[in-house]
Amino acid sequence: MQAPEFLASHASHVEKVLINTLKTRRSVVTERLIDAMSYSLLAGGKRVRPGLVVECFHACGGKEIEKTMAAAMAIECIHTYSLIHDDLPCMDDDDLRRGNPTCHKKFDEATAVLAADALQALAFELLAASEIPAELRCELIRTLAVASGCQGMVGGQMLDIQSESDSSGIDILAVERIHLHKTGALLRWCCEAGALLAGANEEQFDACSRYGKAVGLLFQIADDILDVTASSDKLGKSAGKDEAQNKATYVSLLGLTRARELAGEMREIAINACEALNGNGTQLKSLANYILERDS
C-alpha cells in the first residue's frame, strides 16, 4: 500500500528544515561527525513520527505547520539515533538500513556511536531553542526525555535484549510491555506533542493520546509481520532477523494469523479514537490503515 499523500508532504517539509539545521552546524562540527549524522538523518524514510506530530496538530485545530517543526525535527533526531544504535554489532548487528549500508558500515563503529549521541543531544537543543512558549517547551523536553529514556524506548530495548537470552517466561503481556516502551512511547509522544502545540482541549488531547498508544502497538505488530513475510529488498534491511535472534514477537507467540487479527484490532482502536476529533481525524485514520497494510 502506498503511503498517504499528506505524509509525503509533511516529510518534504521536515526534510528541508533538517537539511538546513545540519547545514548551519557544518562550520562548527568536525566534518566526519556531521557527515555521519547527515548520512543517517537524511537517508530518506517515510518520516511517520514527524508526520504524526504535524497531523495531530492539524486534527486539534492547529494551522501554522512551522509551530510543529522543532518537535518534528527533535523526534526524527531521536528516532535516527535509536536506529544507528540498533544496527550496531552489539545490538541487532545489521548491515543494511533503508537499502543502504548502516552508519557503522559506511563509517566505523566509533563514529556511528558518536553520530547517534550527537543526534540525541541535538533533539533537545532544537526543542530548547524553539520559540514555543516556555512552559510548554519545558513540558515537551521533559516528556520526550521520559519517552526516549529508561522509562520509555531505552527501557523497552533493555527488556527486548533480556527476552532474547531468556524467552521461557515471555508471554503476550510481556511482549506488549516491551513494545509499549520500545516503540510505542515515542509514537504516543508524537501525537500528544502535536495536540499540545495546537492548544488542544482535554477531549482532543485524550483522543490523540489513545490514538498514539494504539498506533504504537499497531506499528510494532505490523513490523513483526513484515519481518516474516517481506523480503530484505522490500524492507531495506535484513528480513527474518527476529527469528534468527530468538526475539519474542507477536508472530512468534501468537502465530501469523492471530497477529494479523490483533493488528486489525489495534487499527480499529486507533480509528475509533479519532471520532472525538469532530471530523478532523480523517488523515489519522488513513495513516492507521497505511501502517497496517504497508509492505515495507
pLDDT at 227 (0 to 100): 87
pLDDT at 163 (0 to 100): 85
Domain coverage including residue 182: 5-293
For residues 253-292, b (16+ Cβ closer than 10 Å) or e, as one string?
Answer: bbeeeebbebbeebbebbbebbebbeebbebbbbbbebbb
pLDDT at 241 (0 to 100): 61
pLDDT at 293 (0 to 100): 87
The single-letter DSSP state of residue 146 is: H
Euclidean distance between CA atoms 54 and 242, whole angstroms? 32
pLDDT at 236 (0 to 100): 57
pLDDT at 77 (0 to 100): 98
Euclidean distance between CA atoms 231 and 83, whole angstroms? 19
Helix axes 69-87 and 5-23, enclosed angle (nearest 10): 80
Euclidean distance between CA atoms 7 and 43, whole angstroms? 16
Say which residue the cell 533493555 belongs to. 158
The single-letter DSSP state of residue 230 is: S
Query: Which residue ranges in the chain fall short of pLDDT 70?
Result: 1, 167-169, 231-246, 296
Instruction: Assign 44 to helix, strand or coil.
Output: coil
Strand partners, 97: 100
pLDDT at 235 (0 to 100): 54
Instruction: Assign 129 to helix, strand or coil.
Output: coil
CB 218 within 8 A of CB 262: no
129 burial type by CB count under 10 A (0-12 exposed, 13-18 middle, 19+ buried): exposed
Say which residue the cell 526516549 belongs to. 148
For residues 168-196, b (16+ Cβ closer than 10 Å) or e, as one string?
Answer: eebeeebbbbbbbbbbbbbbbbbbbbbbb
State the sign of the Cα–Cα–Cα–Cα dihedral 133, 82, 157, 48: positive
pLDDT at 158 (0 to 100): 94
Say which residue the cell 527476552 belongs to. 163
- The residue among 160, 127, 186, 168 whose CA lies nearest residue 245 is 160
Euclidean distance between CA atoms 160 and 164, whole angstroms? 7
Euclidean distance between CA atoms 208 and 203, whole angstroms? 9
Cα pseudo-dihedral 96, 102, 107, 113, rounded to 10: -150
pLDDT at 245 (0 to 100): 62
pTM (2 d.p.): 0.92
Strand partners, 100: 97
> What is the distance of C-alpha 222 from the center of its chain?
13
Number of domains in the chain: 1
CATH of the domain at 194: 1.10.600.10
pLDDT per residue over 33-45, tens digit each?
Answer: 999 999 999 998 8
